[in-house]
Structure 1
Amino acid sequence: MTDITSFQFQSVDKNVSKMDVARLRLIWAIALFSLGFMVLIGRTLELGLADPVGAVRKTVATKSGRTVIAPVQMARADIVDRNGEILATNLETSSLAVDATMIKDPKGLARKLAEIIPDVPLATFEKRLSSGKKFVWLKRKLSPAQKWKVNALGEVGLKFEREEERIYPHGRLAAHVLGYVDVDGNGLAGLEHYFDDEMKAGSSQVDIGDRTLRTSLDIRVQFALADELSAAMRAHSAVGGAGLVMDVKSGEVIAMVSLPDYDPNDIRGISKEALFNRATKGVYELGSTFKTFTFAAALDEGVVTLNDGYDATKPLRISRFLIQDDHPKARYLSVPEIFTYSSNIGTAQMALDLGTERQQEFLNNIGLLQPAPIEITEVGAPMYPTNWRKVSTMTISYGHGIAVSPLQLATGISAMVNGGRLIPATLIHQTDGVREGKQVIKPSTSRQIRQLLRMVVKKGTGSKASAIGYRVGGKTGTAEKAAAGGYNEKLLISSFVGAFPMDDPQYVVFALLDEPKGIKETHGFRGGGWTAAPVVKNVILRASPILGIAPKEEDEGLYRQIAMKIHDDKKR
């Protein structure tokens, strides 16, 4: 006979076993559900954190011998300014294609697409939709709104192809430096073209670092220069303009502007005039700014000293040419006075004493007789006489008969004020901030040139470039534009090149206006001292706080030697 107590315990054990099994199944179900949920979360995070360009993966071997899965970047590298501000980047977009063999009503679909994408002609849509081809592009780089509307049509033959679009967040600002790309992402101008191979993923060319091209530009200074140059162009109804800000110790171009400009985000219908880079490709006769080089060569060679001078009583006649001063003093002028008052007569005589051979050698040595080396392809070749005669020596001494780019001039002036070192210009950020250069004049000559440039602003033709507290020095330049059979005196190239602070120069600032008109505020004058010098002044006042240069009082003793050699015209 079975013990009833034993039976009861057996029943309880069976019930407990069934409950454990049910509980175990529930736990397993929860665990599997949680695992699946975690997989989904992980995949979502992976997609969210993945490279925005949808990087694909490839197996690579490391130096340690391990094999890892590494991303392969598919986007074009970013371009940033010296502070990391994005100047050019890629955004994902969609392009529209069609399998025309699947389209039953090409004309009807063409009408619908033409309403959504009005910049493509209806006839173009009809032709492509009726082509019978398996793959035909209908429109590259759709906007999000266009993609949504096309998708809403529900047409199975339409296909969206993932692509990338090059975006320039600052628009036309720095357009001539950055350049632009075509619809397939190939660089066609500026840095985009020069570094095209390096900018593309998987390039075997020079490594540009962390997939970012860091330029020398400071977009804040770029804006200040563009703004001031644009304002001057409008005020003087000029047809064009160019400007530069350059670090004299590293050769870095902090800002470069050419006007008119363009928006690299949309290059359709852009004129050749707007695409032309006046700062690097344009070559101009830059007038009296060239006197800086004549004086530097003569002082460095010992041809003259600051105690010498020349008779500027009357114009010089050589053959059929007459060399005269715009604002003649009609007297003997000391060397400092010739520079300060910008005397063509005195400078031409100095050039004759220097001699043609030494003049050519000096100009070649500072890079003015060959195209400027810089990281864009839009670079102009200088123009000068193949037959460098005596009259050429005289006129080139004050900037007539030779044409160079604004970039070349700024680079040369930088060498004149930085202690005499010629440092090639660059658009790429230099991490150490200083570059070695070729010594082209003695440091003592450079100091004299700084004194002369400062006196031009304090007492001479460049007074309107004076920015109080920043010890600006500089030189005006005004030249008639070349025309058939000679020059057109009604059309001027007016410029000013300045450097600051002159006791320890850090930057050169250059401004040029093409065909400026005289206005009431300039008393009808159109020269560089009236039109371009104020641009340089305003840029210095706006850029100096950005560049970390504080205003301070000037040590007058630095310039007393020059000032004593300059006569006070009021006493005469």
Structure 2
Amino acid sequence: MSLSPFAKTKSVALADINHAAVSEGRIRIRISLVLFLTMIAIVLVRLAEVSLLSPDGHLRLAPDEVIQHRADITDRNGLLLATTLSSYSLYAEPSRIWNPDETADALVALRPGLDVAEVAEQLASDRAFVWVDRGLSPKERQAVFELGHPGLGFRREAKRAYPNAPLGAHLIGWTNIDLIGAAGVERSFDERLTAENAPELAVAMDGRAQFAIAEELKASVEHFSALSAAAVLLDIQSGEIISMVSVPDFNPNKYGAESPESRKNHAAMSTYDLGSVFKPLTMAMALEDGLTTRDEMFDVHKPYKVLNKFIRDDHPATEALSLDYVLAESSNRGTAMLAQRIGKERQQHYLRELGLMGRVPYELSESAYPQIQEFWGEMATVTVSYGHGISVTPLALATATGALLNDGVYVVPTVLKRDATRPPETHRVFSSQVSQDLADMMRLTVVEGTGKKANIPGFGVMGKTGTAEKPSHGGYDRNRLVSSFIAAFPHSAPRYVLIVTLDEPKGLPETYNYATAGWNAAPTAGAIIERIGPMLPGARDLPKTAAIPKEALR
């Protein structure tokens, strides 16, 4: 049966309509797909903007665990002084916090160190992320987690820990919250400690000696009501700093809560007029330049005047003294006579060679420059000869005295343990004979002179007391003293130098109200040597030279 012309026309029209409808549908699908893809692209762009450009957005993509590497620090015997532990940092997403005040109260109940008002303000802010607390232990993290408050999260991070704090705190230093070295060894060796696969770093410090010295120094500060104290123990042959102690000390695990005074390294950063501990250096200068001999007699029992000032001795002699006894009895007059012979130029030359005209050139940034008079005339030359008018650090004086007794050779000090790859940097200052002469003279000072209270049997202690008045209003205050004792041992083969400095110690009935070094710094040094001597290699004296015949030294 054939279709009529009308029916054929209708069929063609219907086909055209269906085709148009399909075409329109396809166009709508394409438009919808384009709109959908455009929306996806906008979302992705916005996410990228938030993640990469927002100050807080990068935290959204932060990995769950970020462990920074920082090598351990040990003492010379392997005692762990600094290490890196895993810890947790607590953050919050304020938009997900239901009740900022309630959440803040709950957090502060677990973390009392937080400020509740500050935390509540953080949780109510419009920021994407906020750090709430850092350095949580696994146990502390679990306690916060069990609160069940939404919007709180944790990020695993590294935390620097000092398991034997405050042992060696001023020398080792600390890192900030981001594990960047902020002081001491941590700061000076930051790059080395953070290098990929960096091995542990061994310092020269002996933890046993450090502990003993710190304990004795704290006891003296308390006993004599001193403001502060410092001590340095130096191996003068290798230049290794075996101990460096400052009191008060601090806990580097909580460095932010410690006072600036406790964090100050007085041994390397505080400068003092150290007094008569300078006298051995002056005598070495005079002997080296051939300006005197050990048997020359000095009329120190007579008044002595320089320019318009009489030079005063605390313990006036009743007769002329040889050079040995000028030192043993700490005569300012005899030392002044030598200083005038030496003169300003040669005196400054030797002080430069001994490192006393600049900062100690060791690895740490904690090294203060000396305070030196602007006008260095004849009177300054005299007063500097016995330790007034020039302020230096205990570390600087210990290093200079080390050069005097180490066969006359200056050794640049180091905080690191020596090995064959790092020989010490040295230069000669005095002859071997002058070095031996001063060792004998300083031994006599301990045996018969002002340093008797530091004479520990078996160690051949050499030394010199030093008491200096503190500068005040253009002059000096006789009631505010800095007392020091510079010790060295053993006499038979000098290896160790120890300096003890007490800032404003007070006189006691048992010291007849004297606050001078012979009554406080010297016995403190003696107590230290008695404790640390048995544990130090090469510290004991040889019997044949443990004592010096008195007749040979007159």
Q: Which runs of 5+ in 2 are unaligned?
A: 1-62
Q: Which residue of 2 aligns with 1:388?
A: 376
> For the aligned residues, what is the CA RMSD?
1.9
In structure 1, what residue type is equivalent to 2:119?
Answer: F
Q: By how many angstroms is 1:270 displaced?
A: 2.2
Secondary structure of 1:372's aligned partner: coil
How far does residue 105 in structure 1 lie from its aligned partner after superposition?
2.7
Please name the residue that 1:213 is paired with.
201
TM-score between both structures, scaled by the size of structure 1: 0.82
Aligned CA distance change for structure 1 residues 160 and 478 (closer, same or farther; 3 Å): same
Say whether 1:122 aligns with 2:116. yes
Give 1:521 shift: 2.4
Contact 2:240 2:414 in 1 (8 A): yes
Find the counterpart in structure 1 of residue 167 from structure 2: 173
Q: Is the 2:274–2:387 Cα contact (8 Å) retained in structure 1?
A: yes
Residues 300 and 321, structure 2, Cα contact 8 Å, conserved in 1 = yes
SS in 2 for 1:564: helix
Please tell me whether the aligned partners of residues 288 and 399 of structure 1 are also in contact (alpha carbons under 8 angstroms). Answer: yes
* Equivalent position of 1:195 in the other structure: 189
Quote the sequence identity (%).
Answer: 39
Runs of 4+ in 1 over 6 A off after TM superposition: none
* Correspondence for 1:412 among 400, 410, 424: 400
Structure 1 residue 474 and structure 2 residue 463: aligned? yes
Aligned partner of 1:503 in structure 2 is 492
Q: Alpha-carbon deviations, 1:396-432, whole Å to 9, x = none?
A: 1111111111011100111111101100111010024
1:83 to 70, 77, 86: 77
Find the counterpart in structure 2 of residue 99 from structure 1. 93
**AA matched with 1:449:** L
Find the partner of 1:489 among 473, 478, 484.
478
Cα pair 1:95 1:161 within 8 Å, conserved: yes
* Greater mean deviation of Cα atoms: 115-124 or 366-375: 115-124
Q: Is the 8 A contact 1:286 1:477 kept in 2?
A: yes
Counterpart amino acid of residue 451 in structure 1: D
Give the Cα separation in 2 of the matches to 1:165 and 1:473: 45
CA distance in 2, matches of 1:490, 1:91: 49
Decide whether the 8 Å contact of 1:194 with 1:376 is kept in 2: yes
Counterpart residue identity of residue 343, structure 1: S
Q: 1:278 to 1:373 in 2, by over 3 A?
A: same
When residues 434 and 540 of structure 1 are mapped into structure 2, their CA distance, relative to the original with a 3 A threshold, is farther
Deviation at 1:95, TM superposition (A): 0.7
Deviation at 1:436, TM superposition (A): 5.0
Of residues 324, 336, 353 in structure 2, which corresponds to 1:365?
Answer: 353
1:309 aligns with 2:303: no
SS at match of 1:475: strand
Alpha-carbon distance between aligned partners in 2 of 1:534 and 1:236, rounded to the nearest angstrom: 12
Work out the CA distance in 2 between the residues paired with 1:307 and 1:110.
80
Counterpart-to-counterpart distance in 2, 1:550 and 1:248: 12
1:297 equivalenced with 2:285 (yes/no):
yes
CA contact (8 A) 1:341 1:456 kept: yes
Look up the SS of the partner of 1:279 in the other structure: helix
| Counterpart in the other structure of 1:186 | 180
Aligned length: 489
Give the match's secondary structure for 1:306: coil
Cα distance in 2 for partners of 1:372, 1:336 equals 30
Q: What is the aligned partner in structure 1 of residue 252 from structure 2? A: 264
Determine if the alignment matches structure 1 residue 284 to structure 2 residue 272.
Answer: yes
Q: Separation in 2 of the partners of 1:169 and 1:296?
A: 44
Q: Deviations over 1:237-263 (max 9, x none)?
A: 111100011001011000000111111
Quote how far apart the aligned CAs of 1:442 are: 0.5
- Partners of 1:414 and 1:551 in 2: how far apart? 17
Match for 1:511: what amino acid? Answer: V
Q: CA deviation at 1:557?
A: 9.0
Deviation at 1:210, TM superposition (A): 4.4
* SS at structure 2 position matched to 1:555: helix
Assess, with a 3 A threshold, how the Cα gap between structure 1 residues 120 and 436 changes in structure 2: closer, same or farther: closer
Aligned residues of 1:103 and 1:129 also touching (Cα < 8 A):
yes
Using the alignment, how far apart are the partners of 1:351 and 1:340 within structure 2?
17
Deviations 1:461-495 (A, max 9, x none): 11111010110000110000111120110011000
- Tell me the distance in 1 between the aligned counterparts of 2:78 and 2:546: 41
C-alpha contact 2:466 2:485 (8 A) present in aligned 1: yes
* Alpha-carbon separation, structure 1, partners of 2:482 and 2:119: 50
The answer to whether structure 1 residue 454 and structure 2 residue 443 are counterparts is yes
Q: Distance in 1 between matches of 2:309 and 2:182?
A: 45
Q: Name the CA shift for 1:337/1:282 in 2 (closer, same or farther; >3 Å).
A: same
For the residues of structure 1 that align with 2:135 and 2:216, how far apart are their CA atoms?
A: 35
- Are the equivalent residues in 1 in contact too, given 2:82–2:160 (CA < 8 A)? yes
| Structure 1 residue 363 displacement after superposition | 0.9
* Deviation sequence 1:315-363 (CA, Å, 0-9, x none): 3223342211110113221111111111100110011111221111111
Which residue does 2:514 correspond to in 1?
A: 525
Taking a change above 3 Å as real, the CA distance of residues 130 and 73 of structure 1, as seen in their structure-2 partners, is: closer
CA distance in structure 2 between the partners assigned to 1:244 and 1:556 by the alignment: 26
CA contact (8 A) 1:246 1:508 kept: yes
The CA distance in 1 between the partners of 2:138 and 2:510, in whole Å, is 50
How high is the TM-score relative to the length of structure 2?
A: 0.85
Alpha carbons 1:314, 1:324 under 8 Å: kept: no
Post-superposition Cα deviations, 1:86-121, rounded to whole Å, max 9, x if no partner, equal 111111110111122222333332222222222222
Pick one of 326, 332, 336 that aligns with 1:348: 336
Task: Please give the alpha-carbon distance, in whole angstroms, between the structure 1 residues aligned to 2:95 and 2:309.
Answer: 77
Match of 1:513 in 2: 502
Q: Is 1:329 matched with 2:317?
A: yes
Provide the rounded CA distance (Å) in 2 between the counterparts of 1:506 and 1:564: 24
Q: Would you say 1:534 and 2:523 are equivalent positions? A: yes
Query: Contact 1:286–1:478 (CA<8 Å) still a contact in 2?
Result: yes
How much has 1:550 moved relative to structure 2? 6.5
Residues 154-182 of structure 1 show CA distances to partners (whole Å, capped at 9, x for unaligned) of 33421110011111111122111011121
Other structure's SS at 1:496 match: strand
Deviations 1:16-51 (A, max 9, x none): xxxxxxxxxxxxxxxxxxxxxxxxxxxxxxxxxxxx
- C-alpha distance in 2 between matches for 1:86 and 1:103: 42
SS in 1 for 2:231: strand
